[in-house]
Amino acid sequence: MCGTCGCGQEDKISITRPGKENQHDHIHSHEHEHDGSKHSHSHTHSHSHDEGHEHHHHDEHDHGDHHHHHEHEKEIVLEQDVLQKNNLLAERNRGYFEGRNIMAINLVSSPGSGKTSLLEKTITKLKEEIPFYIIEGDQQTLNDANRIMATGAPVVQINTGSGCHLDASMVNRALKELDVSEDAVLMIENVGNLVCPAMFDLGEAHRLVIISVTEGDDKPIKYPDMFRSSDICIINKTDLLPYVDFDIEKAKDYALRVNHQLKFFELSAKSGEGMDAWFTWLKESIKKQPIED
């Protein structure tokens, strides 16, 4: 189904390796749309008999001979998680990552907080020590994937069309395209959006929320769901602190009150200040990936 407009057609998500645009099969082609609209009149009549009768006749006149078949109401208790499908697929992704000792990190933030810059700097600095693989999520364009490709790391771009978040199935498809090696770090840059991606587990080991000091220091309490579902928080663009009203302690306090388990890094991807702590954490974390029973 289409997560973009709810039209009932297949979605228009494309997964592309930069430089291979032309060879790639777009998953679920656009043909469905045309078919659907041509045939959409077909089911108007077929169901109406069964569905309509039970209710309508009652209130108008109670003619004695009810010729209804013995229908009775049945209640099914489901207690089924609405996101169960996504969660199951996320767990499959997680199993794949564990089996290959891949540390997957889901990067979430508002647009423009510096996710791609952080990735560029991190890859450039650590690529001799850690194999990086990147999945880029954006509504449109290969711009971010092209920036990453310039660093030399393998990258796949997911374009969600009008979709506002990545989900486990998109990541699953992108993984087939990317073929991540063992003992690698997989960075999944989500669609720039501080709301919707919070609900969708991708199978990541860590969820990293980035805020930049050019945003408000009350972001954590304005968008609590994202901060609540993350375990790492990077405060970026600290080189701009002298020029803005951002109170870093206040932002951290708000974030901790939403989620007291958050781990913070304060850094500037541009100037490089504070980046060492982040690099150290990455190197340490890849070594001690949890092995679950």
Partner 1 sequence: MHELSIAMNIVEIVEENAATHEVNSVSDVEIDVGRMSGVVIDALRFALEEAVKSSVMESATICINEIPAKSKCLACSHEFEPNDIIAVCPECGHLYADIINGKELKIKKIKFLE
The residues of the shown chain that bind partner 1, judged by CB under 8 A, are: 1, 3, 5-6, 8, 43, 47, 50-51, 54, 71-86, 163-165, 167, 195-196, 198-200, 221, 224-225, 228, 254, 256-258, 260
Minimum CB distance to partner 1, residue 51 (Å): 5
Minimum CB distance to partner 1, residue 78 (Å): 5
Minimum CB distance to partner 1, residue 37 (Å): 13
> What residue has token string 């803005």?
244
Query: Closer CB to partner 1, residue 216 or residue 224?
Result: 224
Query: Closer CB to partner 1, residue 137 or residue 163?
Result: 163
Minimum CB distance to partner 1, residue 120 (Å): 28
Minimum CB distance to partner 1, residue 249 (Å): 14
Query: Closer CB to partner 1, residue 74 or residue 287?
Result: 74
| Distance (Å, whole) CA 200 – CA 225 | 11
Minimum CB distance to partner 1, residue 58 (Å): 13
Report the b/e string of 198-220 with b at 16+ CB within 10 A.
Answer: bebbbbbbbbbbbbbbebbbebb
Report the b/e string of 11-44 with b at 16+ CB within 10 A.
Answer: bbbbbbbbeeeeeeeeeeeeebeeeeeeeeeeee
Minimum CB distance to partner 1, residue 262 (Å): 11
Query: Closer CB to partner 1, residue 79 or residue 182?
Result: 79
What is the DSSP track for 171-237?
HHHHHHHH-PPTT-EEEEE--S-SSGGGG---S-SEEEEEEETTS-TTHHHHSHHHHHH-SEEEEE-
Query: Closer CB to partner 1, residue 186 or residue 194?
Result: 194
| Distance (Å, whole) CA 233 – CA 107 | 10
Minimum CB distance to partner 1, residue 96 (Å): 23
Secondary structure class of 292 (helix, strand, coil): coil
User: 168-178 vs 84-99: helix axis angle to the nearest 10?
Assistant: 30
Secondary structure class of 160 (helix, strand, coil): coil
- Quick count: other Cβ atoms within 10 Å of Cβ 172? 16
Query: Closer CB to partner 1, residue 72 or residue 288?
Result: 72
Cα radius of gyration rounded to whole Å, the chain: 24
List the structure tokens of 288: 């001690």
Query: Closer CB to partner 1, residue 155 or residue 166?
Result: 166
Name the nearest CA neighbour of 172 among 245, 279, 91, 55. 91
Query: Closer CB to partner 1, residue 24 or residue 222?
Result: 222
Secondary structure class of 250 (helix, strand, coil): helix
